[in-house]
Amino acid sequence: MTRLFAVIGLGRFGYSVAETLVEKGCEVLAIDREEAKIQAISDIATFAVQCDATDERALKAVSTQNVDVAVVSIGENIEASILIVQTLTEMGVKSIIAKAVTHTHGKILSNLGVTEMIYPERDAAIRLAHRLVSPKVLEYLELAPGYSIEEVTVPDRFSGMSIEESKIRELHHLNVIGIKKQVNRMIKGQLKKEDTFNFTPSPGDMIEKGDVLVMIGKEHDLDRFSNSE
């Protein structure tokens, strides 16, 4: 059964959420008060409606109460965000995901019954800080406090070793859960570099300079590994 999502607020964040949900085969009710944003997404979303989402009657008129999940991607206008979440809760929407811009904003939304809070700017800032402090870190994802997944370029000293020979698990207490490589392939008569991803690495798999290791572990172990020479 296809799930129906409401995405309220069609800035860059909301538009991307709606677009990706449609690509994944979901039905999307896209809502914004600005006509231009509705026109921009009208060819993508299942339903695109221009209305004031702080107005309960307007939301009921487009059957927002029937969605499986509502994503409130209005963050900058904190008052509107709070009013919309409160209205959705009173309408009986059981799963609400909301964008928050500050801790206080998020706390208020949580008290109103939001299922999950998203802090896009904070999360982007954290990822950037990790990359600035550890240039070898290409991507960072926090799993739980103190634990994360990171993409790290292979240190020169491990080039030409197998995963087992590198002793990453024994010495650094980290698990390699993927290896990204660039390989040369002949495509239409031309030699081109192509990215490959090994998502089931075995102890005997080789790692080379230029590869990217996807690793999971404690943040202090990941920091020590990525900053070591």
Say what the pLDDT of residue 4 is. Answer: 94
> Strand 4-8 and strand 27-32: pairing?
parallel
Say what the pLDDT of residue 218 is. Answer: 93
**pLDDT tens digits along 110-159:** 999 899 998 888 888 877 787 777 667 777 787 888 888 989 888 888 88
- Length of the chain measured in residues: 229
Record the tokens describing residue 222, joined without a space: 């990941």
A 10 A CB-CB count for 193 gives 11
Q: What is the mean pLDDT of the chain?
A: 89
Closest CA to 210 of 149, 171, 158: 158
Percentage with pLDDT > 90 across the chain: 62
Give exposure, 18-28, as e/b (b: 16+ Cβ within 10 Å). Answer: bbebbeeebbb
Percentage with pLDDT > 70 across the chain: 97
**pLDDT tens digits along 216-227:** 999 889 888 887
**Residues 191/102, Cβ–Cβ less than 8 Å:** no
DSSP H stretches of helix in 28-71: 35-41, 56-61
Q: Is the pLDDT of residue 187 over 90?
A: no
Record the tokens describing residue 93, joined without a space: 């929407």
* Separation of alpha carbons 117 and 100, rounded Å: 7
**pLDDT tens digits along 80-105:** 999 999 999 999 999 999 999 888 99
pTM across the whole model = 0.70
**Residues 179/207, Cβ–Cβ less than 8 Å:** yes
* Separation of alpha carbons 169 and 225, rounded Å: 11
Say what the pLDDT of residue 229 is. Answer: 60
Domains in the chain, CATH or no CATH each: 4-118 (3.40.50.720), 123-226 (3.30.70.1450)
Q: Is the pLDDT of residue 228 over 80?
A: no
Say what the pLDDT of residue 124 is. Answer: 80
